[in-house]
Structure 1
């Protein structure tokens, strides 16, 4: 009976350790970012959360799973560059929050909290759809024709602004700055930037 109880304690301790640690094996930590995550319970919890989001996205990705895996590897490389930051922990935390927001918005891992339709550039046919998600770092999904992109909320002097930051999977950068019934929508590509004035046409 004592042996069984002792064995159970070992199993419970191992299980608790796995729940508190990150999604990867800390014995194989290959960067200062991973070492930091292994030593920080808050970052380890964020790592587990993003790993779960990534797994859910893979389940929905279908034929795009290979591309998603490649971008995830690219994101990990970017996260590991946080050693260059003045505050490495803040950088790593920010990378995880942004990645979670992107995965949720791109792969619709949650129901949007609201959807807004915009007519941009004085042309009703130039429609931009924005879907908003209540991730820890508030996020948006942009839809414009066949284009899908994501962004996160950034500081703005007034109104609400969301910016893709130019990182997301194949994106050169999009942003929308909303004030009341109007918005400024921007696209940034290799040939320069295009800025549209938009008006709200529908809200769900």
Structure 2
């Protein structure tokens, strides 16, 4: 019997370890990290973001040109994100803040670095001008997300709750609110122009 118990413990130990976050909880230094250590779903999100970050770093290192700069920028953004997550102690709902922080970071890493194939790509003609194009690539991340491409501008949007349609909010006020084959698109600040867009092509 003792051999069976020992064998079970040997098998179970990695599983238990996998339930924790990517960092050492004994060294948790902020309330956000302590919350992640005590919450299985937040720990899962932490592991997910850590895996996505590692994949993005690998993609940055594989660049033919500008790899060092891309790695440095990615590290800086990750440090900035961690600082932002740790600021969730100021939020009324700290857990919701931490969860949203992880979900958005995963979406940013996947969509920016194209870590997965998009589930769908839509081409929108906006403002009644076919040349005024917005491209959206959709990703099956923990919180559904998309990649905006507009000219040489790239951004990431995440799904937000609405009464109808599907709205994805990006950076600096940018959003697209999709209802069937039509959408309202808003450019980021300081421009902030809104356009009525029509689906031109879908892949």
Taking structure 1 as the reference length, what is the TM-score of the superposition?
0.86
Q: 1:153 aligns with which of 122, 138, 159?
A: 159
Tell me the CA shift for residue 26 of structure 1.
1.3
Compared CA separation, residues 156 and 41, structure 1 to 2 (3 A): closer
CA distance in 2, matches of 1:61, 1:132: 22
How many residues are paired up?
Answer: 194
The correspondence of residues 50-199 of structure 1 with structure 2, limited to 5 A, is: 50-62=49-61, 63=67, 64-164=70-170, 166=171, 172-189=172-189, 191-199=190-198
Distance 1:9 1:200 in 2: 56
CA contact (8 A) 2:177 2:184 kept: yes
Query: How far apart in 1 are the matches of 2:57 and 2:173?
Result: 24
More displaced stretch, 85-94 vs 108-117: 85-94
The alpha-carbon deviation at position 21 of structure 1 amounts to 1.4
Once the two structures are TM-superposed, the CA of residue 13 in structure 1 deviates from its matched residue by 6.0
CA positional deviation for 1:87: 2.0
Superposed CA deviations along residues 65-87 of structure 1, whole A, max 9, x for unmatched, are: 21111111111111111111222
What is the alpha-carbon distance in structure 1 between the residues aligned to residue 155 and residue 12 of structure 2?
42
What is the CA distance between 1:145 and its match in structure 2? 1.6
DSSP-derived class of the 1:45 partner:
helix
RMSD of aligned alpha carbons: 2.1
What do residues 118-148 of structure 1 show as CA deviations (whole Å, max 9, x unaligned)? 1112222221110111112110111112111
Q: Does structure 1 retain, via aligned residues, the 8 Å contact 2:173–2:192?
A: no
SS at structure 2 position matched to 1:86: coil
Secondary structure of residue in 1 paired with 2:23: coil
- CA contact 2:174–2:192 (8 Å) conserved in 1: no
Give the corresponding residue for 1:169: none
**In the alignment, structure 1 residue 200 sits paired with structure 2 residue 183:** no
Q: Which ranges of structure 1 fall in alignment gaps of 5 or more residues?
A: 167-171
Q: TM-score under structure 2 normalisation? A: 0.86
User: How far does the alpha carbon of each residue in 1:9-40 deviate from its partner, in whole angstroms, 9 at most, with x for none?
Assistant: 77656534431211111121110000111122
SS at match of 1:73: helix
